[in-house]
Amino acid sequence: MSISGYAEAIRDGVFEGDQSQKGLDIIISESGRLKRIVSEMILLAKLDSEADIFHLKKVAIRELLEETAERVNPLLRDRNLNLAVEYADEALEQAKVRPDKPSQALLNVVANARDMPAAR
């Protein structure tokens, strides 16, 4: 609904200048959100259709968290944010998981937090 509304407003000349840019930013943000939703729906469809989809692999938790922080920090820079990773002494060192899924989940969480209004 947001995408359609902003696109029509820009097309009809309701927005100009900075307002047009803000509308385009919202369209880009919402289309990214829809892309993530579609990806999740595709994943759920795969889970329903494939019995042997889980191929677990040992991953180092610290490496996974550091890689996620490296991947998301460029997205956070536009809001003057930076993600830092801290570990408890008893932090889990390894886990058996599906490759790429924990990273995808962490990126989704951080990306969703990035889209939240900034604290004042």
List, for residues 25-40, the tens digit of each pLDDT value.
Answer: 999 999 999 999 999 9
pLDDT digits (tens, 9 = 90+) for 3-19: 888 898 889 999 888 88
Asked if 79 contacts 118 with a C-beta cutoff of 8 angstroms, the reply is yes
Task: Round to whole Å and give the CA distance between 57 and 60.
Answer: 10
User: Structural domain boundaries of the chain?
Assistant: 1-50, 54-120
Task: Round to whole Å and give the CA distance between 108 and 115.
Answer: 11
69: its two tokens: 């922080």
The count of other CB atoms within 10 Å of the CB of residue 23 is 20
Asked if 68 contacts 29 with a C-beta cutoff of 8 angstroms, the reply is no
Q: What is the reported pLDDT for 120?
A: 46
For residue 68, is pLDDT > 90? no
